[in-house]
Amino acid sequence: MNILIVEDEKNLAAEMAEYLIKENYLCEIALTGQDASEKIAVNLYDFILLDLGLPDYDGLDLLTEAQNLDEKPGIIIITARGALEDKVKGLDLGADDYLAKPFSLVELHARIQAVARRKFNVSNPEIHAGEFKINIQSRRIFHNDHDIELTKKEFDLLLYLILNKNKTLTRIQLYEHIWGNLLDDQYDSNFIDVHIKNLRKKLSAHAPVDWLVTVRGIGYKTEL
């Protein structure tokens, strides 16, 4: 998942990013509210970790901007503010959770996972796609008891499509989820097509994958 960390404390932002990258997330940092606002306007994020106490911007205004996007990210407010009023206002504006400083990175990760489960309506760490079983926590996929070997990018791509089942995802959406923010001179839709081809080849060696559907001229979806 692609995460934007909005935090003006540079060391804390770097520490959060380093930890989450090790947990297989893509992370980008915005140290100011203005930078965050510009990033939110042009990039797709699955999550925003949002500090309310920014020096140049009201974090609640950023929260409102994020809520006005077509593709709404999960939002966890992270702030030193302890007033109940701030917590309630943030949640009323659409934040998914609230974590007060200081906090442990393990707890932060747990909160992200909990919000993701609610966002994608997943109550069990094991989900199914056709004849395949996917364990979200261990990042493994099985057919019967056979462990199928996928690359990190292949697994991330497959999981994102499954979590967004029955929803058509464009190649650009998939690209930004897997590789991070889109730069025009980097983008090559063939990256996605090649990974889908490899996924189909690996999975179809075990069972049909007719649920992994190409939407001509747009992207892909999973019909589950």
Lowest mean pLDDT among 36-45, 101-110, 178-187: 178-187
pLDDT at 184: 47
Q: Where are the alpha helices (DSSP H) in 9-50?
A: 10-22, 33-42
Q: What are the boundaries of each domain within the chain?
A: 2-119, 126-222
Checking if the pLDDT of 30 tops 70, the result is yes
Q: Which fold has domain 126-222?
A: Arc Repressor Mutant, subunit A (1.10.10)
Give the homologous superfamily in CATH for domain 2-119: Response regulator (3.40.50.2300)
Q: What is the pTM of this model?
A: 0.74
pLDDT at 222: 95
Mean pLDDT (the chain, rounded): 87
pLDDT at 117: 83
Query: Shortest CA distance to 195 belongs to which of 133, 165, 150, 164?
Result: 150
Query: Shortest CA distance to 77 belongs to which of 57, 97, 92, 105?
Result: 97
Residue pair 6/51 in contact by the 8 Å Cβ criterion:
yes
